[in-house]
A and B are shown apart, each in its own frame.
Chain A
Amino acid sequence: MVEAAFAEAIAHAAAGAALDIEQVSHAFDIDGAELPVLSEVSIAVEPGELVALLGPSGCGKSTLLRLVAGLDKPKTGTLREDEVRIRSPHPSRVVVFQDPTLFPWRTVWDNVALGLEAQGILKSQRHRVDAALDLVGLSDFRTAYPHQLSGGMAQRVALARALVNDPKILILDEPLGKLDSLTRITMQAELVSLWQRKGFTTLLVTHDAEEALVLANRVIVFSERPARVKADIRVDRPYPRHRGDPYLADLRRQILGLLGLDATW
């Protein structure tokens, strides 16, 4: 009975949603002056794709993610999830930020339960929290407080907190940026296997070309601010990928060239 519920929780994965970003421009008001950050960005993401957004630091990638999440509204242009216009945040589009931003007053379990609690369905869906914790391998830490976790563990809890909602679009804002290189490599593999199992559409902002190529089946390269789409590169390579793959190395050289770093590589 319990096992059946558990299996259902895993298998009941919502398939990914399509995401249409159409002619989106955005600007910040800083002391009355308008600072453009996104300039006519158009990207069509197929359901279940893992798209990496790569660009120079501060170019506006994270702003685009906030628009997709519905946390901010674009100045012009439209964003659609499965043909439905995005106007506000919704648990079908969940963000994992660069900082885990766990609530320090909640235990690991209560942090993961946050989404279900906010939607008022926690009472009947408690097994989903346990399943999500199992998924990231932190079942033994359910009663721990965030300050007792390492950086990698905290980020895994943040991932579980997102996955428990069965998102159709998972939005990752440099989620591995602050981890040490060993933890990073492990978590990259975990991300790929989660994505393959669950089938959600994934947007991954990163500043690491190698990470983008190991994880994504599409890499979008942005220009300097205001960000425009500079290149849209398909990565047709099976998983698991090898870092030393000459095909990927070649793509990496191309991408770094687009980012203006060809002289150093």
Chain B
Amino acid sequence: MSTYSLSDGLASGAPRTSHAPWLATWVQESGAGVAASAAWIAFGLSCLWWEDVGDWSRTHSLGIAAFVIAAIALFGTVGADYLGPAGRALRQRAPWLIALGAFLTLWEVATAKFAWLPLPFFPPPQSIIEVYTDDLPKLLDSVFASVKLQLGGYLIGATIGFLTGVSIGWSRAVGYWVHPVLRFIGPLPATAWLPIAFFTFPSSWSASTFLIALATGFPVTVLTWSGVASVSTAYYDVARTLGAKPSFLVLKVAIPAALPHVFVGLFMGLGASFAVLVVAEMIGVKAGLGWYLQWAQGWAAYANMYAALIVMSLLCSGAITLLFAIRDRLLVWQKGTVKW
């Protein structure tokens, strides 16, 4: 191809679009929405067109639900201008709706209709829906137990870690005693304590709380400490000449200055504590999503396992999102000084 033919093509293409600019704009704005709608219609049809190879009760409802989503995608994006922020949000997410519809269609066809993927290891979408509708009480109980355990352990670990970190960063004497202990015990994965913890603690619940707190506490301690230690001495000098007492230096200078580091520790601790939570629930605690997974595996209830995994990932990402929201609120002053 020579440059001549390229510019020729551009030149001939330009007037064509200018003949119907509204069509181009319409395709640009609503094309993805129409395609998303088509993808979800395909999913609905794939549910209803063929017979299921197995016995699932929610196939028909799932197909209808897919058509409803297809309708929402179509009218929501085409009429986005009349729907305000909701319409804009939907339009922005239309490409993801296409991908999701296509994936579900493929999944439906590959499992429930032609069984290209072996059953029961790869359950179809409708069987997972079935779990949510028919096994809801047990699933909710598990969610509640997991959240309770996680929240308790995380809050205890984060609080202790934060206080320890500030003390080590502030006081040389505390650092002398705590630092070697931290260095020796900290890098040990919290799950290594599991067998001992389940023997020594009065209940499996308190043992798991301890382990989750331990997994959270280590990164929070280390990062809080390094945050406090890296505060510029110029800040202390300024505060001291203005009449600040030591308590003021800790509470109003060291801690706010270290807060960005503390949040890095909180994020790391959250990730580590999820791992401990699931392992603890699989091994010792007789409740929670980890236990549910284990129980479902025992019954070869693969759909239940996928359903529980989806719930688990929603909870974990929800917790991370919540922590991000808290950080954005507390560290609003960082906006503009660092890239988020």
A residues in contact (CB < 8 Å) with B:
69-71, 89-91, 93-95, 97, 99, 101, 103-106, 114-115, 117-119, 145, 147-148, 161, 165
Contact = CB atoms under 8 A, between A and B. Distances in A.
- Secondary structure at the A interface, as helix, strand, loop or mixed, is loop
A118 B234 contact: no
Interface string B238-259: 1111111100100011001101
B177 interface: no
A115 B238 CA distance: 9
B333 A105 contact: yes
Given A99-B234, A101-B238, A104-B337, A91 B243 contact: yes
B135 interface: no
Contacts of A104: 333-334, 337
B243 A89 contact: yes
B237 interface: yes
Contacts of B248: 117-118
B324 interface: no
A71 B233 CA distance: 11
Contacts of B235: 101, 103
Interface string B254-282: 00110100000000000000000000000
B243 A103 contact: no
Given A99-B234, A145-B336, A105 B241 contact: no
B241 A91 contact: yes
B244 A118 contact: yes
Given A117-B252, A118-B248, A101 B241 contact: no
A118 B243 contact: yes
Contact of A114 (B234, B237, B239): B239
- Secondary structure at the B interface, as helix, strand, loop or mixed, is helix
Contacts of A90: 243
B240 A89 contact: yes
A69 B240 CA distance: 9
Nearest to B331: A105
Contacts of B245: 118
Contacts of B334: 104
21 contacts: A71-B240, A91-B243, A94-B241, A95-B237, A97-B237, A99-B234, A101-B235, A103-B235, A104-B333, A105-B259, A106-B256, A114-B239, A118-B245, A119-B242, A119-B243, A145-B333, A145-B336, A147-B337, A161-B238, A161-B242, A165-B243
A16 B217 CA distance: 52
A118 B333 contact: no
**4 shortest interchain CB distances as A-B pairs:** A115-B242, A91-B243, A118-B244, A89-B240
Residue of B238, B239, B331, B337 with highest tally of chain A CB at under 10 A: B238
